[in-house]
Homo-oligomer: A and B are copies of this chain.
């Protein structure tokens, strides 16, 4: 799964720490998601999308390899 968290943060000029506070997780959680260390729960992903005011599909996307 790909994500455009970093891009979206850049667009809206929000730091990892600030995003973390706004969605109620630790900064490292945001960082880990951003560098692809793991996939967030749907709850967290929806919250992130909500903070950015975009749809989830705009930030998180399936890849071919996710189906194998």
Tell me if A18 counts as interface (CB < 8 A to partner B). no
Q: Apart from A1-B42, A42-B56, what 16 extra A-B contacts exist at CB < 8 Å?
A: A1-B46, A24-B67, A39-B41, A40-B41, A40-B42, A41-B41, A42-B42, A42-B45, A42-B60, A45-B45, A46-B57, A47-B62, A47-B66, A50-B62, A55-B56, A55-B57
Q: Report how many copies the assembly holds.
A: 2
Nearest-neighbor residue (CB-CB) of A44 within chain B:
B42
Nearest 10 interchain pairs by C-beta: A42-B45, A39-B43, A56-B56, A46-B62, A39-B41, A42-B42, A39-B42, A1-B43, A42-B60, A40-B42
Nearest-neighbor residue (CB-CB) of A24 within chain B:
B67
